[in-house]
Amino acid sequence: MKPRLEIVSTDRQTTASPVVLDVDQVSKRFSFAGSGGISVLEEIGFRVRRGELICILGPSGCGKSTLLKILAGFMPPSTGAVRLNGKPAGRPGPERCVVFQEDALFAWLTVRENIAFGLRGRAMTRREKERAVDRFLSLVGLADFADYLPAEISGGMKQRVSLARVLILRPEILLMDEPFAALDAQTREEMQDLLLRLWSELSHTIVFVTHDVGEAALLADRVLLFDRAPGRIKEEIRITLARPRGKTEADYYALCRSITAKIKAL
């Protein structure tokens, strides 16, 4: 059976939404003294519309994390440009937030203080900040762990905190760099469900980097399939399976198989 990749979307109409992120022919070369240099990304171009969830899928070493760093503003592209709402995206800032793969929480702050960190200096009263933190604590299911330190909670909980501390800033776009890769299978599934639930509640725009085919098939509106190094967009796969996508359903399996086949053919 040929996988039905072009099912009409029922849950979300994003084609008419405005473009939030415009990645315009971004290339990245790293040069080393003596040995010339290596090309990591070659002419990456794509657009993300408001409310879309895009997965960047590719084998390790294909430059997908580098691309995410460029999108976040942590490093400049060698050529090309990144535009956010039509304006050049410069230094990193709370309009483009990252959930890192590794634990990047502040070890000396409690869960509550970590989530409140980005609100410092915002024009909100203390009361408003507390209410916002409480709301996001319960959104990610950590209300009972507010006063724990990062060292005292599990890996899955840490990623929940990482998610909450950026969602509270209401970023224009959420950049996620293999955020669940280091978690065990069951926790990963819980986190994927949580992400989808938060996404449908808060309608964020998300760019999600992963090397896991199943994860991309479960989450994405569109999958950008990256070639092996140097990274290039090999193919764009639009997924229109209705959500929630059952991991046991035939359509989902067919989709995974077809993407896996494309990766093997790289």
Partner 1 sequence: MIRRIVVMTQLHRWLNWLLPGLFFLIWLGVCETGIAPPYLLPHPKNVLATASSYIFGDAAPSAFAGRFCADVTASGVRVLLGFGLAVAAGIPLGVLSGRLALVNRLLSTTINALRAVPGISWLPLAMVWFGIGIKTTVFLVALAAFFPVYLNAEAGARQVNPTLLQAGAMMGVRRLRGTFAILLPAAMPNIITGLRLGLGISWAYLVLGELTGVPNGLGALIMDARMLGRIDIIVVGIIMIALIGRLCDVGLHQLLCISFKSARRMS
Binding stretches for partner 1 (CB under 8 A): 72-74, 91-94, 96-98, 100, 102, 104, 106-109, 117-118, 120-121, 149, 165-166, 169
**Shortest approach of partner 1 to residue 243 CB, angstroms?**
28
Any idea which residue has 């996001």 for tokens? 136
Q: Where are the beta strands (DSSP E) in 33-125?
A: 36-49, 53-57, 79-84, 87-88, 96-99
Of the pair 7, 104, the CB lying nearest partner 1 is at: 104
Alpha-carbon torsion, ordered 113, 117, 121, 126, to 10 deg: -30
C-alpha distance across the termini of the chain, in Å: 22
Core vs surface per residue 127-139: b (16+ CB within 10 A) or e: eeeeebbeebbeb
Q: Of 190, 253, 226, 214, whose CA–CA distance to 63 is shortest?
A: 226
Instruction: Rank residues 30 and 106 by Cβ distance to partner 1 and give the closer one.
Output: 106
CB-wise, 6 or 106, nearer to partner 1? Answer: 106
Q: How far is the CB of 196 from partner 1 (least distance, A)?
A: 23
Q: Is 161 or 213 the residue whose CB approaches partner 1 more closely?
A: 161
Of 97 and 217, nearer to partner 1 (C-beta) is 97
Place of tokens 């309009």: 95
Question: Smallest gap, in angstroms, from Cβ of residue 137 to partner 1?
Answer: 17
Q: Which is nearer to partner 1, 166 or 209 (CB)?
A: 166
DSSP string, 65-78: HHHHHHHHTSS--S
Q: How far apart are CA 227 and CA 241, in angstroms?
A: 24
Shortest distance, position 106 Cβ to partner 1, whole Å? 7
* Contact criterion met (CB below 8 Å) for 141 and 160: yes
